[in-house]
């Protein structure tokens, strides 16, 4: 009696391998496209939201849409308004509007602090020790929310000392050995 054996034809096995390879290739392509789309989305959304480091006091006060919204603002600290309670770690002070564009930061801080007509905003920072740089004419960059009461409740406070931005005079230059 003759034995009948069944063998897979080479074309059927090759077609099976091709189908598996093309399915693997398609999964790889789809995964790559999804990763590229996610990276592109993150780049575009990060650029759009972080295009401006902070907004001015004028913009926050003039636009009611900012009430209750987390924002980052910048202004000039008015030294006579600083009140610090060491027991509750509460800092209260007022900032004046600092223009968005300026050539000399120290001069812009001084002019904004002395201008009685500039927009002013009350600031409250809780649970923070009073920083050494919190002084008259320091630039304050604050993150927080504008309350419905017109007070800005800051969760983060960054200060820039105005004396660091003053231009050196001729007797303060590095090249002058007499200093």
pTM for this predicted structure? 0.62
Task: Give me the numbers of helices (H) and strands (E) for the chain, helices first please.
Answer: 3, 6
Domain boundaries, the chain: 9-51, 55-165
**Is domain 55-165 classified as CATH 3.30.565.10?**
no
Q: What is the pLDDT of residue 121?
A: 93
Contact 66, 48 (CB under 8 A): no
Which is more confidently placed, 132 or 100? Answer: 132
Backbone angles phi, psi at 77, to 5 degrees: -70, 130
- Residues 106-114 have a mean pLDDT of 86
118 touches 79 (CB < 8 A): no
User: Is 96 in contact with 118 (CB distance < 8 Å)?
Assistant: yes
Is 65 a residue whose pLDDT tops 80? yes
**Is pLDDT above 60 for 179?**
no
């Amino acid at each position: 009696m003759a034995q009948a054996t069944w063998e897979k034809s080479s074309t059927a096995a090759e077609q099976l391998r091709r189908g598996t390879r093309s399915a693997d290739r398609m999964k790889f392509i789809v995964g790559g496209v999804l990763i590229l789309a996610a990276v592109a989305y993150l780049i575009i959304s990060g650029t759009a939201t972080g295009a401006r480091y902070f907004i001015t006091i004028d913009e926050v006060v003039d636009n009611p849409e900012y009430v209750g919204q987390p924002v980052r603002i910048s202004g000039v600290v008015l030294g006579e308004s600083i009140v610090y309670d060491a027991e509750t770690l509460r800092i209260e002070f007022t900032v004046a509007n600092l223009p968005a564009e300026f050539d000399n930061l120290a001069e812009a801080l001084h002019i904004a602090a002395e201008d009685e007509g500039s927009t002013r905003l009350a600031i409250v920072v809780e649970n923070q020790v009073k920083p050494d740089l919190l002084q008259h004419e320091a630039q304050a960059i604050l993150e927080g929310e504008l309350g419905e009461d017109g007070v800005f409740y800051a969760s983060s406070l960054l200060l820039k000392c105005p004396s660091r931005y003053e231009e050196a005079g001729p007797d303060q230059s590095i090249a002058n050995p007499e200093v």
